[in-house]
Amino acid sequence: MSRYRQLQNIFIDRIEVNQYIGLDTSILFYNKLLESIRKPLKMILLYGRPGTGKSVLINKIYHDAKDKRNVFLISTPIQKEEEFIKKLYSFILPESTIPEDLTYNRFIDICNALKEKKHVTVLLDEAQLYPSGMMEKIRLISDTRVIKFVVSLHKTEKEDLIAKEHFQSRIWETIELKNGTIHDTRMYIQKKLIHHNYFEIANMFSNSNIRLIHRFTKGNYREINKLMFTLFEIYDYYETNKPSKISDTKIKNKYIEMSALKLGYIHA
């Protein structure tokens, strides 16, 4: 596999703990969320536009805190109420057999009986995909204080859950993730490359390159991944077919612009 094919793989967008990049802002969000989990809260809302790093952050928190703080993760929304309740039951009573006739009301009774004995945190990723009726029951379960929910969802224009009064009254903390700054964009690219021992490639990106990448992606990490993947795809083509066209010491802005054109960020 060519060097630029390997570089493409670094920027494939995937949700894994090792994809967490310790930027100043991401460390700030990480510490804030971890501190919120330590507090006696009922619900914590983590929200932001797609591509701001919510899922990677949730997975990082789970990886680091699961053995110390009774933290559990539901990464893919469970649409069926019965299955969801059984999953929660297994979190709070892992040594017990799940009752065959476990219903939502019975589960609430169990939680109320355990109020002073059990406290767990459940991380719900992609929570915008839960039906509204399920979200209401999640909110009511949080009132028992046996389960603290960290609800991670996309911030949308049409439906903003935090604007709903019955939801907001149960949230004691909100954390909004935003797109990165130009500095974040630089550090994100460099740290990903350095993590895979591509020091010389990391040093090829100039301030002008980073400003251009940030302009096209607006600092959205998913879009940065897409642009970087496409950039190294173009470099791979030139290395194979026209090696004299590319430099081993610097990245040319025209190739970043070609990537942006291919992705539809700009139009010819």
pLDDT digits (tens, 9 = 90+) for 13-49: 877 767 778 888 888 999 999 898 888 888 899 989 9
Predicted pLDDT of residue 167 = 59
The structure's pTM equals: 0.87
Q: What is the CA radius of gyration of the chain?
A: 22
Strand stretches in the chain, DSSP E: 43-48, 71-74, 120-124, 147-154, 173-177
Q: Give the H/E segment covering residue 93.
A: none
Predicted pLDDT of residue 162 = 52
Name the H helices within 143-252: 165-168, 182-195, 199-202, 207-217, 221-241
DSSP helix/strand/coil, 148: strand
Written as one letter, the residue type at 228 is M
Q: Which residue has the higher pLDDT, 172 or 190?
A: 190
Predicted pLDDT of residue 68 = 78
Quick one: pLDDT band at residue 268, thresholds 50, 70, 90? low
* DSSP structural state of residue 86: H
Taking only the tens place, the pLDDT of each residue in 99-150 is: 988 999 999 999 999 988 889 999 999 998 888 889 889 999 999 999 999 9
Predicted pLDDT of residue 179 = 94
pLDDT surpassing 60 at residue 161: no
Predicted pLDDT of residue 222 = 94
Taking only the tens place, the pLDDT of each residue in 64-103 is: 988 777 899 999 999 999 999 999 999 999 999 999 889 9
* pLDDT (mean) for 236-240: 92
Q: Over the chain, what is the mean pLDDT?
A: 89
CA distance linking residue 113 with residue 125, whole number of Å: 27
Quick one: pLDDT band at residue 169, thresholds 50, 70, 90? low
